[in-house]
């Protein structure tokens, strides 16, 4: 495969792919456009060089097709047409269309947006970030921008602020197939508390699903309900 490279190209040489499932509200898109105006393009648009057409783009209009960064590209075009901003942008050319199968291109875009973010989070460092960001935004806005719950962000901020909690170890967060790409971080004061919680979960799950017939997601929900009620529940 050809070597990856970062180039500055005309925005008109870039065209969106037809399979991007991600959308933005008008308000979200306005925020993105303003961010690009204020901060510039701080990450490249990931593209493929269209050296040959394919079934998705039988008649390429641009030299490059977007793998990831359609909204950013659209925002930059809008800023250029309406506000006279630059008509060029940075792209990371992943390779040539003749060399990279379209399923790989799709996978890269989805992975950037949804997966491979890791299952560990250092709550102290998250709390530090939250504390700094609250100089500009309320917790609810930080949650919206980061995709994390406001409750967790408040907890992380507390861990960072209170000396008695600063020794808390990063918590491993796992997701089952029903919650792929999502995380539910929990904050524990120490490893002993985390271990006690994990053991309790096993008990609650055995109460909720003694025959092991539920899916992992339903079993975990039933276990939480069992714990809240402090009584076994039927499967």
Q: Which ranges in the chain are annotated with CATH 3.90.1530.10?
A: 5-114
Are the CB atoms for 71 and 29 separated by under 8 Å?
yes
Distance CA 200, CA 212 (A): 17
What would the DSSP string read from start to end of 12-80?
Answer: GGEE--TT------HHHHHHHHHHHHHH---SPEEEEE-SS--SS-SS-SSSEEEEE-HHHHHHHHHHH
pLDDT for position 162: 80
Are the CB atoms for 142 and 155 separated by under 8 Å?
no
- Where does 5-114 sit in CATH, by number? 3.90.1530.10
pLDDT for position 191: 66
- Per run of 10 residues, the mean pLDDT along the chain (length 235 residues) is 88 95 90 94 96 96 96 97 96 96 90 70 87 91 84 89 58 42 50 72 79 76 69 48
Q: How far is C-alpha 205 from the geometric centre of its chain's CA atoms?
A: 29
Distance CA 111, CA 118 (A): 12
pLDDT for position 177: 43
Distance CA 180, CA 174 (A): 9
pLDDT for position 190: 62
pLDDT for position 227: 67
Distance CA 40, CA 33 (A): 10
pLDDT for position 210: 82
Residue 44: count of CB within 10 angstroms of its CB: 17
pLDDT for position 143: 87
Are the CB atoms for 48 and 7 separated by under 8 Å?
no
Backbone Cα Rg of the chain: 23
Helix, strand or coil for residue 235? coil
Triad 198, 203, 205: Cα angle to 5°: 90
pLDDT for position 189: 60
């Amino acid at each position: 495969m050809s070597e990856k490279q970062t180039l500055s190209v005309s925005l008109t040489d870039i065209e969106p792919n037809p399979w991007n499932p991600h959308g933005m509200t008008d308000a979200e898109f306005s925020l993105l456009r303003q961010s690009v105006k204020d901060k510039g393009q701080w990450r490249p648009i990931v593209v493929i060089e269209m050296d040959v057409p394919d079934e998705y783009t039988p008649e390429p209009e641009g030299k490059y097709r977007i793998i990831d960064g359609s909204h950013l590209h659209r925002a930059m075009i809008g800023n250029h047409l309406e506000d006279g901003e630059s008509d060029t942008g940075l792209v990371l050319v992943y390779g040539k269309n003749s060399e990279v199968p379209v399923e790989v291109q799709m996978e890269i875009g989805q992975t950037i947006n949804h997966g491979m973010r890791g299952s560990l989070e250092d709550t102290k460092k998250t709390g530090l970030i939250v504390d700094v960001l609250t100089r500009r935004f309320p917790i609810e806005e930080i949650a919206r921008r980061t995709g994390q719950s406001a409750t967790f962000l408040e907890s992380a901020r507390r861990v960072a602020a209170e000396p008695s909690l600063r020794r808390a170890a990063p918590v491993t967060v796992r997701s089952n197939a029903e919650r792929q790409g999502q995380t539910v971080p929990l904050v524990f004061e120490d490893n002993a508390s985390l271990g006690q919680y994990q053991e309790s979960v096993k008990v609650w799950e055995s109460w909720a699903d003694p025959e092991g017939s539920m899916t992992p997601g339903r079993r975990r929900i039933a276990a939480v309900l069992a714990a809240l009620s402090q009584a076994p529940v039927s499967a």
